[in-house]
Structure 1
Amino acid sequence: MKGDAVRGHLDALLLAALEQGPLHGYAIITAVQQRSGGALELRTGTMYPALNRLERLGLLRSDWQSVGERRRRCYELTDAGRRSLAEERTAWRELTAAIGAVLDPAPAPRPAT
């Protein structure tokens, strides 16, 4: 799927990937890819600036965790992030319903004879 497909929806994708609990960057990429059936691939150069922005907005928090000798930053939703995700889902449903009504309209009812 084209990279443009996620433009405008990246924040919602990141928030949704973190809904079940904290993840580090690569795990977020993997979660989005798996949940989309491989159709969506996030690039690190796009994802990390978005994660940092969401953290500055108070929608995420992060901390460093050690795994063996490696350290990685794990991200998790805040309460504000959960509320924002709920709002994003509502907006998404409204948008897809409106677009669906235009692209795949229901057939007009036939007049009674």
Structure 2
Amino acid sequence: MERPSTIHGSRVVSIFGAAGPALDEVGLSAWIAQAAPGEALVYHRGFLAVDATGAVSNLTPERQRTLRGVAAAALRAAEQRLVHLVQARLGPDHFAYIAVARPKPGPAGAALSMRLLEAA
């Protein structure tokens, strides 16, 4: 039984596309800073563990480094409680890696800026 995918909604932004430039850590941080709670960003499509590993990836070494940096920044942002990280299965060995914005902690300003810097 196939479940409908929820990542095709209007509140999902895909920056990492096949035809476009790869999302980097700065782009992810900028998105986190301006995203409304509940907005989602697809930061990678593929199989992250394979795509980020040099020996088995089809990506260029530069794109692999960028992907590893974005994945690490997304994890730090989740640890700072700025985003939720989720996955959606698109097909065999093909997933969408999604960051969902959480409500901003406390008043915006220096405190939020420091948390974004720590997450980058």
TM-score, normalised with respect to structure 2? 0.40
Q: Which has the higher strand share?
A: 2
Q: Which has the higher helix share?
A: 1
Higher relative contact order (CA 8 A, sep 6+): 2
TM-score, normalised with respect to structure 1? 0.42
Larger Cα-atom Rg: 1
